[in-house]
Amino acid sequence: MRQACEITAAARALAGEMVRPGVKTRDIDKAVREYIVSRGAKPSFLGYNGFPASTCISVNNTVIHGIPGNYVLQEGDIVSVDVGAYYKGFHGDCAATFPCGTISAEAQKLIDVTKQSFFEGIRFARKGHRVSDISHAVQQHVESNGFSVVRSFVGHGVGAQLHEEPEVPNFGAPGRGPRLLPGMTLAIEPMVNAGTYDVKILKDKWTTVTADGLFSAHYENTVLITDGEPEILTVAEGL
């Protein structure tokens, strides 16, 4: 898991470095795919339930599952990159939202609040807590800053399979769901909208956008439950 997650985190960092005006999203996807393969791993997303790319690249009002293509990044865009790598029987999974050039103050706040909500949540990713203790902390931070958490999609367990039990919502009352035990590995991933939490899925059956057209941000790491502090496995400098 640690090796798979290290490769995944490095791939996310590579993608972030490429986010700048004039770059096509498919070029980011190509670079990430080549990097993952160069490390002896496989892109977890490529072909997963028919998904056609190695990364999900979701721009502006696209929440998740954006398909890389000919879109050319523009100044002011915010770009969410979700990536997974499969290495020697295990998956890593992580995501982050990156600014493209100079972005608005509100867009930067959305990115910052989304990332911080993850860290608020993992304060409860400890032995003896329940899954919804994480969920509640994420929701409280997001909503106290005037944003909303997506309800239609949630985090999840991750390991030998990309998506495993338990589900890890980003909303809900505390004290519910499975009790956390050492050795569990969770993909904790706040998906945060500037406006309503409602989303819609486009005709390609993948691309998921905000119902009101406002921006969305995404932040995710694979986290190990231990006997003490939680360990973020998808560690990369600055992320």
Residue 110 carries which side chain, given as an amino acid letter? L
Q: Which of the four pLDDT bands, split at 50, 70 and 90, describes residue 192? A: very high
Q: Per the confidence metrics, is the pTM higher than 0.85? A: yes
Q: Which of the four pLDDT bands, split at 50, 70 and 90, describes residue 237? A: low
Q: Which residues of 111-133 are buried (b: 16+ CB within 10 A; e: fewer)?
A: bebbbbbbbbbbebbbeebbbbb
Q: Which of the four pLDDT bands, split at 50, 70 and 90, describes residue 235? A: confident
Report pLDDT digits (tens) over 50-105: 999 999 999 999 999 999 999 999 999 999 999 999 999 999 999 999 999 999 99
Percent of the chain scored above 90 by pLDDT? 98
CA dihedral sign, ordered 186, 187, 190, 196: negative
Q: What is the pLDDT of residue 238?
A: 54
